[in-house]
Amino acid sequence: MTDHGQEISALGEHTLSKISRNLMPLLCAMYLIAYIDRQNVSYAKLEMVDALHLSEAVYGLGASLFFLGYFLFEAPANVILSRVGARLWFARIMGSWGLVTLALGFTQNVVMFYALRFLLGVAEAGFFPGVLYVLTLWFPQTRRAQMVGLFMIASAIANAVGAFVGGALLGLDGLAGLAGWQWVFVATGIPAMLLVPLILIKLPVGPQAAPFLRVEEKEWLAAELASEPTPPPEGPIWRAFIDRRVLILAAVYFGMPLGTYGLSYWLPTIVKGFGASNFENGAINVIPWLCVAIALWAVPRHAARHGASVWHIVGPLLVASAGLLGSVLVPGAAAKFVCLCIAAAAVMSAQPVFWSVPQRLLSGSHAAAGLAVINSIGNLGGFVAQNAVPAIHDATGSNLAPMAGLAAMVLLSAAGCFLALRQHIPRAA
C-alpha cells in the first residue's frame, strides 16, 4: 500500500503504466475532438458573422449558449454515467455532439444558431466531469493530478489543431457548394461520430473487466484504491447540489474557465486585428496552445514530485492575470501576443491540481454529482466570457481591452483559491 510521499511498488508502477497506455489515449482523443467541436465556432465566426448578418453581441450570446445547456444538464448526465457506465454514456455523448456539430454547418439564421449551440452543450454535458470520475476508479490519488494534466493536454492540442485546421477549412470556400465557415463545422463533426464504435469496442467497463490487466495487477489496483482514506457516506445524490464544499469549489473555479474561454474564443479575432490572413491566423494560433501543453505537463509533474501546494493553483493564476493585463498595456503586436501565450498556459495549468481536491473530498455517486456541479457552475464563466468580451469590445472598439476584464476575474479566482483551498491541498492532493 502507499500513502502520500511513499513510493509505489514495481508491480504498481507497471500496472499504472499499462493503464495509462491503454486508457488515456482514447480519453484524450475524445477530449481533443470535443474541444475542437466546442471551439470551431471561433474560426467559423470570421466569415459566419457576415454571412448570417450577426453582430458581435449576437455571436457572443450564441457561442455562450453552449455553456447554458452544459450547466443545466451536466449534473444529471454525470449521475446517469455513474449508473450506466462510462462506455455507453461516452459513446452517446460523442455521437450526439457530432450530429449537432454537423447541423451547425447548415445554420440558416440566428434562432437556429442559438438552438444548436445550446444543444451542443446539452450533448456534451457530463463528459469532462465524467472523465474525472472515471479516473478515480483507475488511478490512486497520488497520480490523479498528473492524469488530469495529461488528459487536459488534449484540449491544448485541440486548440492548436483547431487553429491550424480552422484557418485552412475557411479556405475551402465554395467547395461542394458550401461556404468556408460551413466546412469548419462539417469537417470537425464527422470524427466525433466515427469514434463511437471505437469507444464501444475499446473502453473497458471498469478495471476488473480490463483485458489488458493481469489478475495480480487488478488485485493490486483494487487493494491500492481500497487503502486510500474514504470520505464518510454522503447520503442521497441530491445533497451534492447543496454541499457547501462543492459550492465553494465551484465559486473559486469560476474564473479559470472564464479566462480560458475568453482567450480561446477571442484569440483568432485579436490575431486577425494584427493583420493576419485566415491561414496565417490559424498557424499563429497554434503557438499559445503548444505553450499550454508544456505547462499542463510541467505543473502537475512538479506537484507530484515535490508535493502539491495551493501555490500550484494560485501561482499560475497570478501569472495568467499579469499576462492578460500585459497584453493590453505593453506596446507592439509581438509583445502583446507573447503575453497572451503566457496567460493561456498559466490559466490552464492551474486546473489539474485544483481538480485533485474534490476527487479526494467526495466519494461514490456523490463525487460524480459533485464534480459535475463544480464543473457546470464554474463553466458558466465561459458563458460570462462570451458575452462580456464582445460587450467590452463594442463599448471600447478595442480587441484587447476585454483582456483587462478577464485579468481582474482571474485575479479574483486566485484570491478565492488561496483563501478557500490552503487548508485542503496538503491533505487532498
Please give the pLDDT value at position 225.
Answer: 87
Please give the pLDDT value at position 5.
Answer: 41
Angle between helix 401-421 and helix 311-329 axes, rounded to 10 deg: 160
Per residue in 103-120, pLDDT (tens digit) is 999 988 889 999 999 999
Please give the pLDDT value at position 1.
Answer: 40
Please give the pLDDT value at position 265.
Answer: 66
Who contacts 18 (Cβ-Cβ below 8 Å, separation ≥6)?
A: 212, 213, 217
Please give the pLDDT value at position 237.
Answer: 62
pTM: 0.72
Would you list the domain boundaries of the chain? 22-229+239-428
Please give the pLDDT value at position 144.
Answer: 84
Per residue in 121-143, pLDDT (tens digit) is 899 888 888 888 888 889 988 88
Mean pLDDT of residues grouped by 10 in the chain (429 residues)? Answer: 56 91 91 80 81 81 83 83 88 93 91 92 86 88 84 79 74 86 90 93 90 93 83 60 81 86 74 76 81 90 80 92 87 85 91 82 71 81 76 77 85 89 56
| DSSP-assigned letters across all residues of 164-190 | HHHHHHHTTTTGGG--HHHHHHHHHHH
DSSP alpha helix (H) spans, 125-240: 127-138, 141-170, 180-194, 196-202, 215-227
Domain 22-229+239-428 has CATH 1.20.1250.20: yes
User: What b-and-e string marks burial along 112-128, b requiring 16 or more CB atoms within 10 Å of the CB?
Assistant: ebbbbbbbbbbbbbbbb
Please give the pLDDT value at position 424.
Answer: 58
Please give the pLDDT value at position 425.
Answer: 57
Please give the pLDDT value at position 7.
Answer: 58
Please give the pLDDT value at position 212.
Answer: 92
Q: Kindly report the backbone phi and psi dihedral angles of residue 348, in degrees, each rounded to the nearest multiple of 5, phi listed first.
A: -75, -35
